[in-house]
Structure 1
Amino acid sequence: MAAKNLPYTDYRPPIKHNFNFVIPRFLRYIVIVGVATLCLFTPFYFDLQITVQRRGGSQKLPEVIKQDTRCKPHLPSQLTLLQSLSPSDPALLSHGRALDHVVRNRVAKGDIDSVVMGIIGPNGILWSRGYGITRANETGALDSPNENSIYRIASISKLYATLETFILRDRGALTWDDPVTLFYPNFTYKPYGWREHLAREEFGASSSEARHLEPITLRQLASHMSGIGRDYPSQNFDDWPHVPPSFKSPGNSFTPEGTYPQKPEILQAIAENPLVAPPYSYPIYSNTGFSLLGWCISLADAALNGNSITYAELIKRDIFVPLGMNGSSFLLSKEQAKHMAFPRNGSEADYDMTDAHNSAGGQMSSLSDLAQTIRALLNPEGHRLLSRYSLREWLRPLHVFPDNLTQVGLAWEIQKVFDSHGRAQSYYAKSGNLRYYHSQVSINAELGFGVVVLMAGRFSDSSWFTKRAIDLFQPVFEHKLEETTQNLYGGKWVGNAADGENLVTLVVSNGSLWVTKCIINGDDLLDLYTGGTPLTLWSTGRLHEFRVAVGRAELNSDSSIGCFSYWATFDGFNSHGAPIDLIYFSAQSHGLSLHFPSANVTLLRKS
């Protein structure tokens, strides 16, 4: 029955009233005053008694940590690789049952033929379930989908085009800022806007055509920042707003039905039309741009290796085979066809989107295969597809929308989700939609997990399932990372008494790692720098290495400054050849040692 209290269920408990007894009026006042007093003072009592009951002892938290601190750095994401989460973890099982309840209720509405979804960690699938009927187009079929069921993933294909571009960049075949003209010397577009394009006589042709063409680069193509329109050549309906029933909205125009335009037609359409907006203005979602990206990287690979292969062969060679993605392809083999999920309506599974469009939306994959990709991004040491440099570059936004919610990266559709501490967690996602296939992949690199949803049917919002999965599972991964961090670093660290007084106390609170006491060679550094206010530790991205976020005392509490006073003051100066804000840990036979190298101090954790 616990699931009834979870968000997004349709269950509403009945309201029950009992009028079988009457409380005298004076007793009502006593009860009301008593309850109000209890409500008023209980929070203060518990606020004063907040403690941390983890390794390192029971520690009362300073008042500043309990406050809504404006800048709360994330805990070290590298520690997610040290966690021992498994599919049998009680918290995962419990939250999985809750999600199962929510999904079953939604699938029962009848507009979803099948859906399979999973929660992925750095070491593989932690939870997965399949619902509905895999081959909904067959009479009498009853089997539900599983991890190996194959779906068309539509625009999730764009992630693989981007991944391949990074792979080729790491090999020296190209750079992200290479212009399209490096691969297609005759590539061009109209250098003016649509207002001028539709009124050529008013503006005059000669001055417009003499304008300089700003370069369109691979980076712009992958981030939808090139300004190239959605689907070229554009469909034209002179009877608009009356359009054919099959064309429900501009967002549904990319579909396997019909004859696909090929490279010459597409390049000509780009040349004949103005851009939607100048390059680097803001993202304009462009299937055409990703088709063009696929052509360019295929040419870059051919120049590097001396032989030409198709885009599909390129992705198979560099991604599918190394990751063991046996269910992924652009055309189904006989063996793969046995595992294909079919919607009740339509026959999109059989379409060949051709090499001209495969990089934009032609791929088919399974939950198991997509999980391998997520593992490679969460645990690059286990899969050497990308350099760590490229991975850090990829998991970054390139455009921030003014909604305080969404951003765009290289293929990523980034969404903020606030965690238990009111801090934004970034989910790097990519969705894919055809008429009857809908999918989404979403990754939280800070907490070390991802969500995959593959779906067939009329219902098109795959993010509905992703949101519910994140709501239920994110707290599990938050808690696990906090527990891991506290167990590794939390507690009192003391030095050799002969070296003078040295004491550092660390605690995980409010989602960050805090220094609550720092006495080095007898000097109280917190008192010296912040008047006693605790400071956070920022991971450098290297295992066991941190910088103390000292900031500027007069600015740290200014809510309008945010994190600026901290990141702007790192690495101020050195002492004994090391930065004064550096703290790191090293593994010894007895466990970890804490090093404060700028003071030549080493500390051990007090048991």
Structure 2
Amino acid sequence: MDEEKRRLFEAEEDRSRYQVPSHRRLQRRDVVMATLRQTVATFVGMALAIVLVGPYANLAMPSTAQRWLAGALVPTSSATHPEHTYAGLTLPTSNENAAEFVWKCVPPPPPFLLQDPRIVENPAVVSALASLQLVLRLKTAPYNDAFAVSIVHASKGKIFEFHKGRVRTNESATDSPDLVDGDSIFRIASITKAFVVLEALILSRQARLRNFKPELTLGSRLQEVLPEFKLPAGFEDEEASITLADLGSHMAGLGRDIGELQLNSLNDIVFPPVNGSDLFDDFPHNRTYDELLDLIADKDLIWQVGEVPSYSNTGFSLLGMAVVKYYNKLFGTSKDFTAILQEDIFTPLAMNHSFTGPIPPHLRKHVTVPNAKNFVDKVFAPAHDPAGGIFSSPNDLSSLLHKVLLSQIPKLISPSQRLTWLRAHHQFTDGLSSVGIPWETYRAIMPDYSTHNLYFKGGGLPSQVSQISTFPDYGYGVIALTSIGLSDDELHKGGNFSDPGSLSFEIHNILAPAIWAAYNEILIADYVGIYVSGDGFAKVVFKEGMLVIDQFFAKGVDVLLKWDEMIWTEVGKRRRLYDTGAKLIGTAFDGQFRTTLMHGCAWTGFDAMTTKGGWGFDKIVIKKDEAGKTALFYEPMNNAKLYKVT
């Protein structure tokens, strides 16, 4: 192990120039707390809370200034810029009394660069991935779990994998020597919820293409799709207003598991469980759709619709029912949830080791089995499958991330649908976390203080814990799956295991700054320089973490001055805003950039004025022309075309 530690230390030194200092990285307590928040939001979160809280109960609690997420400091100005302290201004009134990084608003990488293979070939990324092999080996060495990690990038699909342990930890190595690999199957529990939302998006697209009415969208009202859905008397307005998006974002006000885990009192909770006292022996109950609907119709809402997120497996059961009903109406069939997912998702994505329902005989040898009590052989009723019934593998989930969530042109859904899907829906007041449809979203702050969303979806059933996460602004995602090797007694005593939540954060802490550095190197190499022709002169620089057009003259006109004068035509002459340059924001369209102010998140001026041909004054195209030369195109000045010379 000493040799392993030495190699890890050397790898850390090798990548140190690409990563923020170690004291700025995610603290262990934050990993634990974030992991707990996600784990408690899984299919049987209460059971997992029992397992997870114990080992971490005595950790020290860092101050606010030490709270780091995905490799960077939470932007409290007093922590990063001591000279900037709160002065009683809820909203700053000028740039001068706010920390500089708040006002930069650094654009994310241009979407058209996310699939550039140079990213994963960059030395910073190569070094980070080498470090991850050592980090994961050291972090998982003390445990006998079946554990798997895959990392996927938009440019190449899977770029990294790590496997440890045996498929069956409940048997001896002699009887079951098979080791975990990319095809090993884990019960992914609540990650299933992401598939249910994906199926709703697929049906929406299919209905539009078929001109089927009514179309299905996330904004569709549940009762219009599933008329048999009812709430108790007195909730008629809420009953009529719940949408599919409300269900998918846990904002429908429904209880977590209606009809489950009903006790006489807290005295019914016995820990550690003894024979006959385990609350989860019959969880979830084997109910039909109609039985579950009857229970829902007799249960008051706990929140107003849209008030706050309130994790609800029952809500996803309803969403699954709505998806099944709409599918069969659209196609005139009578298929169940299992068959629909197989046809619409698993088969098109070649997810050949994914399924719901009973384990197919030919896949049983790939199914990981924990050592302690588990739900591996439990077959959920169709009413509960949408909340957490899927089994899947690292390779299959890699296909989902690459082909649907990261590729420039996603499979199964449209780019605009994906943007709707990957969006925070409710922001919590901690400033770090939010809820999406159905993502749990966390703030990631890069070394240049730009703030982005990381999208997580966790899943947990007894002795199995799973996590997928994606960083769409930087084009990559992570899969981490664990089948726990501890015995029941060891778990009850607080034994530790390879936790996919905390390890996912560790991966992002190492990888995100490296990918950030790689993208910036490409921006500098491809776009920074002097552009010259008989049409004019332009200078593109990289400053304050952004591509900036620093000087721009076309056909004898100072374009930056003209942009200021465009503003003055509306508000009168003021101090110049573009005299220090204009930042370039990459769009999803190849080579197309939009210009805006250097500071602040200005977004109201795009296409504010256009040429008669429809070209916005803020639009600049930088790409290779027919001759293979990098050229800057600007139509508003008589189709000015400048060539990069340095």
Segment drifting more, 211-220 vs 287-296: 211-220
| TM-aligned CA deviation for residue 156 of structure 1 | 0.4
Q: Distance in 2 between matches of 1:448 and 1:222?
A: 24
State the partner residue of 1:178. Answer: 220
State the partner residue of 2:8. Answer: 3
Q: Equivalent of 1:487, from 525, 529, 534?
A: 525
> Which residue type is aligned with residue 363 of structure 2?
Q
Establish whether residue 573 from structure 1 lines up as the match of residue 599 from structure 2. Answer: no
Is the alpha carbon distance of 1:177 and 1:572 closer, same or farther for their aligned partners in structure 2, counting shifts above 3 Å? Answer: closer
| TM-aligned CA deviation for residue 486 of structure 1 | 2.4
State the partner residue of 1:190. Answer: 232
Q: Does the 8 Å CA contact 2:269/2:279 hold for their aligned counterparts?
A: no
Q: Does the 8 Å CA contact 1:75/1:511 hold for their aligned counterparts?
A: no
Unaligned runs of 5+ in 1: 11-65, 192-207, 557-561
State the partner residue of 1:163. Answer: 198
Q: Equivalent of 1:279, from 305, 309, 318?
A: 305
Residue pairs, 1:119-518, within 5 angstroms = 119-122=151-154, 123-140=156-173, 141-172=176-207, 174-190=216-232, 208=234, 213-240=239-266, 242-245=268-271, 257=283, 259-330=285-356, 331-380=358-407, 384-457=411-484, 459=497, 461-496=499-534, 499=535, 502-518=536-552
| TM-aligned CA deviation for residue 349 of structure 1 | 1.2
> Which residue type is aligned with residue 184 of structure 1?
L
Taking only aligned residues, the RMSD between alpha carbons, in angstroms, comes to: 2.7
Q: Distance in 2 between matches of 1:373 and 1:256?
A: 32
1:558-596 deviation line (CA, Å, top 9, x unaligned):
xxxx41xx1022222124532211111343213232111
State the partner residue of 2:573. Answer: none
Superposition TM-score, scaled by structure 2 size: 0.75
State the partner residue of 1:195. Answer: none
Q: Does the 8 Å CA contact 2:260/2:284 hold for their aligned counterparts?
A: no
| TM-aligned CA deviation for residue 549 of structure 1 | 0.3
Q: Does the 8 Å CA contact 1:113/1:456 hold for their aligned counterparts?
A: yes
> Which residue type is aligned with residue 543 of structure 1?
D
> Which residue type is aligned with residue 520 of structure 2?
E
Segment drifting more, 375-384 vs 171-180: 375-384
SS of 2:199's equivalent?
Answer: helix
State the partner residue of 1:582. Answer: 619
Segment drifting more, 523-532 vs 293-302: 523-532
Q: Distance in 1 between matches of 2:549 and 2:368?
A: 53
State the partner residue of 2:145. Answer: 113
Q: Does the 8 Å CA contact 2:398/2:479 hold for their aligned counterparts?
A: yes
SS of 1:567's equivalent?
Answer: coil
Q: Equivalent of 2:132, from 99, 103, 107?
A: 99
Q: Distance in 2 between matches of 1:276 and 1:170?
A: 33
Q: Does the 8 Å CA contact 1:396/1:409 hold for their aligned counterparts?
A: yes
SS of 1:169's equivalent?
Answer: helix
Q: Does the 8 Å CA contact 2:404/2:411 hold for their aligned counterparts?
A: no
Q: Distance in 2 between matches of 1:256 and 1:452?
A: 30
Segment drifting more, 372-381 vs 309-318: 372-381
> Which residue type is aligned with residue 512 of structure 2?
Q
Q: Equivalent of 2:597, from 550, 558, 571?
A: 550
SS of 1:598's equivalent?
Answer: coil
> Which residue type is aligned with residue 169 of structure 2?
A
State the partner residue of 1:606. Answer: 645
Establish whether residue 540 from structure 1 lines up as the match of residue 574 from structure 2. Answer: no
Segment drifting more, 323-332 vs 73-82: 73-82
Q: Does the 8 Å CA contact 1:550/1:569 hold for their aligned counterparts?
A: no
Q: Distance in 1 between matches of 2:160 and 2:349?
A: 20
1:266-321 deviation line (CA, Å, top 9, x unaligned):
21221111111111111111111111111111110101111110101000001100
Superposition TM-score, scaled by structure 1 size: 0.79
Larger radius of gyration: 1
Sequence identity, in percent? 28
Q: Does the 8 Å CA contact 1:214/1:279 hold for their aligned counterparts?
A: no
Is the alpha carbon distance of 1:190 and 1:223 closer, same or farther for their aligned partners in structure 2, counting shifts above 3 Å? Answer: same
Q: Distance in 2 between matches of 1:540 and 1:100?
A: 34
Establish whether residue 594 from structure 1 lines up as the match of residue 594 from structure 2. Answer: no
Q: Distance in 2 between matches of 1:247 and 1:164?
A: 38
| TM-aligned CA deviation for residue 94 of structure 1 | 2.8
> Which residue type is aligned with residue 548 of structure 2?
W
Q: Distance in 1 between matches of 2:594 and 2:363?
A: 50
| TM-aligned CA deviation for residue 231 of structure 1 | 0.5
SS of 1:515's equivalent?
Answer: strand
Segment drifting more, 145-154 vs 505-514: 505-514
Q: Does the 8 Å CA contact 1:323/1:383 hold for their aligned counterparts?
A: no
Q: Distance in 2 between matches of 1:341 and 1:550?
A: 54
Q: Distance in 2 between matches of 1:265 and 1:245?
A: 31
Q: Does the 8 Å CA contact 2:223/2:239 hold for their aligned counterparts?
A: no
1:398-452 deviation line (CA, Å, top 9, x unaligned):
1111111111111111111111111112111111011111111111111110000
| TM-aligned CA deviation for residue 378 of structure 1 | 4.3
SS of 1:162's equivalent?
Answer: helix
| TM-aligned CA deviation for residue 366 of structure 1 | 0.5
| TM-aligned CA deviation for residue 254 of structure 1 | 7.7
State the partner residue of 1:521. Answer: 555
Q: Does the 8 Å CA contact 2:150/2:478 hold for their aligned counterparts?
A: yes
| TM-aligned CA deviation for residue 379 of structure 1 | 4.6
Is the alpha carbon distance of 1:82 and 1:349 closer, same or farther for their aligned partners in structure 2, counting shifts above 3 Å? Answer: same
Segment drifting more, 96-105 vs 338-347: 96-105
| TM-aligned CA deviation for residue 232 of structure 1 | 1.2
Q: Does the 8 Å CA contact 2:119/2:515 hold for their aligned counterparts?
A: no
Q: Distance in 2 between matches of 1:174 and 1:309?
A: 18
SS of 1:272's equivalent?
Answer: coil
SS of 2:104's equivalent?
Answer: coil
Q: Does the 8 Å CA contact 1:527/1:533 hold for their aligned counterparts?
A: no
Q: Distance in 1 between matches of 2:239 and 2:587?
A: 41
Q: Distance in 2 between matches of 1:400 and 1:255?
A: 36
Unaligned runs of 5+ in 2: 1-5, 13-21, 29-98, 208-214, 485-490, 492-496, 565-576
SS of 2:579's equivalent?
Answer: coil
| TM-aligned CA deviation for residue 364 of structure 1 | 0.5
| TM-aligned CA deviation for residue 175 of structure 1 | 2.3
SS of 1:507's equivalent?
Answer: strand
Q: Distance in 2 between matches of 1:373 and 1:280?
A: 29
Is the alpha carbon distance of 1:531 and 1:465 closer, same or farther for their aligned partners in structure 2, counting shifts above 3 Å? Answer: closer
Q: Distance in 2 between matches of 1:156 and 1:389?
A: 22
Q: Distance in 1 between matches of 2:369 and 2:180?
A: 10
| TM-aligned CA deviation for residue 351 of structure 1 | 1.1
1:505-548 deviation line (CA, Å, top 9, x unaligned):
12334432211222233333445632621221122321111111
Q: How many matched pairs?
A: 516
SS of 1:385's equivalent?
Answer: coil
